[in-house]
Amino acid sequence: MNTAVLILPTTPRSRSYWTVVGRHVLRDPVTMLSALVLLLIIAAAVFAPWLAPADPYKASMLRRLLPIGSSGFLLGTDELGRDMISRLMYGGRLSLLMGVLPVLIAFGIGTSVGLVAGYVGGKVNMVIMRTLDVFYAFPSVLLAVAISGALGPGMSNSLIALTLVFVPQVVRVAESVTTQVRKLDYIDAARMSGAGALSIIRVHVLGNVLGPVFVYATGLISVSMILASGLSFLGLGVKPPEAEWGLMLNTLRSAIYLNPWVAALPGAMIFITSMAFNLLADGVRSAMELKR
């Protein structure tokens, strides 16, 4: 048999930084599993009206707190006899929204402010960063509760509260990455070519700052979900009978001795979803550090 291997003089296709990162992520089983789990949860939430087996708001005194695996109610029922699996699917809509939306807004605001602070530097940087340091004096949970409490209960108010909690954190990361990038020689080379600050930021700074900040923000989604659930739990967020994981956890609290498994379900959903977001962010971050 002919065992000789023919090596063709191939020209390897040029791969951008993100192609390399993408390859590493695809080879990482933990990250891929987290992505898959997230995809399933998001799909279940988005398509809840079509997928849910029952009406999530239809209560019945006759079938309260059915255990997991009851016929017709796969994951049992809650303290008002509402179908758990449907409520969990519908609850995912609000919980995911409360997880993603504040982080997304904070990402937009925080990156812009951080870029300005990092690129301009000097006194501007000092004023911006020291002002934001005030927010750091409080633990984020306390800050969220305080702002939310001051604004009053309701979903939009807790969205605002969470956004305010995350803005300083995103600014800090964006500022430090920008400061690092700014010192690199290619920025000096761009300045030598006579480019203006806006052009340099757009072409040379932004592309190198967005990645790390975005990954950091992905890690914040889990925190946001937990904080949002916490606010709902305390009665500052979503109001009953709305389905939301944190609120469900609160209302099922009284049933924890009667039917602990059902009562734990919303908590498990929060745990799994935030873990998945965290592991995904970690995976992408380590893939990004591979090749520099």
User: Applying CB under 8 A, which residues contact another protein?
Assistant: 11, 14-17, 20, 184-186, 188-196, 199, 203-204, 207-208, 291-292
Q: Which is nearer to another protein, 172 or 182 (CB)?
A: 182
Whole-number minimum distance, CB 33 to another protein, in Å?
28
The amino acid that residue 98 corresponds to is M
SS (H, E, C) 160-187: HHHHHHHHHHHHHHHHHHHHHHHCCHHH
In this complex, which beta carbon is closest to another protein, that of residue 251 or of residue 286?
A: 286
Q: How far is the CB of 24 from another protein (least distance, A)?
A: 13
Task: Output phi, psi for 159, to 5 deg.
Answer: -60, -45
Closest to another protein by CB, 131 vs 199, is 199
Please provide the size of the chain in residues. 292
CB of 28 to another protein, least distance (A): 20
In whole angstroms, the minimum distance from the beta carbon of 266 to another protein comes to 42
Q: Distance between CA atoms of 256 and 238, rounded to whole angstroms?
A: 21
Residue type for position 80: L
- Beta carbon of residue 185, minimum distance to another protein (angstroms, whole number): 4
Helix (H) or strand (E) holding 132, with range, is helix 122-136
**Do the beta carbons of residue 85 and residue 75 sit within 8 Å?**
yes
User: 19 or 60, CB closer to another protein?
Assistant: 19
Q: Which is nearer to another protein, 58 or 191 (CB)?
A: 191
CA separation (Å) from 41 to 48, 96, 99? 10, 9, 13
How far apart are CB 290 and another protein at their closest, in Å?
A: 11
**Calpha distance 99→187 (Å, rounded):** 36
Specify the residue, 50 or 130, whose C-beta has the smaller distance to another protein.
130
